[in-house]
Structure formats: structure tokens, C-alpha cells
Structure 1
């Protein structure tokens, strides 16, 4: 039996707003939107995507799962993400780490890594 990762689900107080933030971050597009979910992805054929689903409560505590972004230029990407509405976050990472921890507009932590050489 084959299995593949289809989507990563994100609880959100305002799914449409958070989906649009992440679409700008990843240079993705909104693929579908209704009151129960907003789906973004690179395109309709590329997996996985992110699906944002409404919840009444706000985020509480540190994320148990987070996204790592691997840009070509970490400093430039951090500046771009801050301009899009991200905020810096302190999750106890200390001053000597090679990544930058940010939060999206609803407080979900994510990391911006130093440039990585990805496999071809």
C-alpha cells in the first residue's frame, strides 16, 4: 500500500488571513476557499499543500510541529518575512544558533535556516 503526504493542517483563528500570509511567504497560491478550510499550494498538482481550518481558540504554548524554511539569503529572507507580518520569537534557542525563529501572525513558530545545499 502506497502513501504520500497530502496536506499539513493548520488550526487558525482567521484561516483566510493566515493562508494568505503563508501563500506570500512560500510564493504559493490559494487553491480553494470556503468557510471550513482554505487550501494553499504551489499549484493544483504539487503536494503537499497547507490547509487552514477554523478553530475558536487561540494558540497556546509552543508548537509541537513547525516549518523550517531554507532560503538562499537568510538575512534578506528574515527581513522580507518581517515585512509580511512575521515577528521574532524566543523559544529558548539562545544567541549562538544558526537559525532565526519567527512567528506567523497567529503566533505559530517557524525557523529560517542558513542557506542549505539541497540535493539535486
Structure 2
């Protein structure tokens, strides 16, 4: 049995706006638009691509899954995300790993992760 993971899909109200945010954040272009979806190029070969699906209902509560982005410079990555419209929600450091929890313009959580050891 073969199973593949081509996309990680985020529900959202405005897939164009959210895809533009994530495209700028992770530095990859929009690959395609299809019906209610806007799909980015993968960030590296073999990785799943982020896709954004228009849905009618608003986000409520904390995401059950989120995206982690590893960064070399947490401060620079945070400033970049903030200029694109993200918000800082929280931060924790444990076992040599710092994770800064951010929210995209529609409130979807992600973590900027810096390995400190």
C-alpha cells in the first residue's frame, strides 16, 4: 500500500490572502489555484506543499495541528512574520529548543523553532 502526503491544507476565509502571507513567509511561490484552493510550491523536494481551502465557517479555538518552521535567527524570522501580518502568541524554551508560537492573519497557529543547543 502506498500513501503519500502531497499537501497540508489549512481552512480559511480568504485563500488568496493567506497563500500570499505564507508564500512570503516561507519564500516559495504560489504553484496553482484550483476551485476553492490556492496551493504553494513545496519548500523543498519531497516535502508537502501548503494549500489553503476556502471554507464558510470562521476559525474557533486552538488548532489541533500546526506548522513548525525551523529558523536560524528567531528575531529576524519573527520580525519578518510580523511585517506580513502575523502576531506573537507565546514562547517556550525546553531541552535546547525555543518555539515562538505565532498566528497568521486568520489566526492559524504556527511555531518558529530555533534549536539552541
The two structures have a TM-score, normalised by structure 1, of 0.83
| RMSD of equivalent CA atoms | 2.2
Q: Distance in 2 between matches of 1:5 and 1:116?
A: 29
Q: Structure 2: any 5+ residue segments left out of the alignment?
A: none
Give CA deviations for 1:51-101 in whole Å, capped at 9, x if unaligned: 1111111110000000111111111111111111101114xx6x6562211
Offset of residue 13 of structure 1: 0.3
Q: What's the offset of the Cα at 1:26?
A: 0.8
Q: How many residues align structurally? A: 113
Aligned structure 1 segments of 4 or more residues deviating by more than 6 angstroms: none
Deviation at 1:106, TM superposition (A): 0.1
Structure 1 partner of 2:32: 32
Q: Distance in 1 between matches of 2:116 and 2:17?
A: 30
Structure 1: runs of 5 or more not aligned: none
Q: Which residue of 2 aligns with 1:23?
A: 23
User: Structure 2 CA distance, aligned partners of 1:115 and 1:71?
Assistant: 8
Output aligned runs, 1:1-120, within 5 Å. Answer: 1-42=1-42, 46-90=46-90, 98-115=98-115
Following superposition, the deviation at residue 33 of structure 1 comes to: 1.5
Measure how far apart 1:104 and its partner are. Answer: 0.1
> What's the CA shift for 1:47?
3.8
For residues 8-63 of structure 1, the C-alpha deviation after alignment (integer angstroms, 9 at most, x for no partner) is 111010011001100111111111114421111138x7541111111111110000
Q: State the TM-score, normalized to the length of structure 2.
A: 0.85
Deviates more, 1:33-42 or 1:52-61: 33-42
Distance (Å, rounded) in 2 between the aligned partners of 1:116 and 1:41: 29
Change (3 A) 1:26 1:54: same
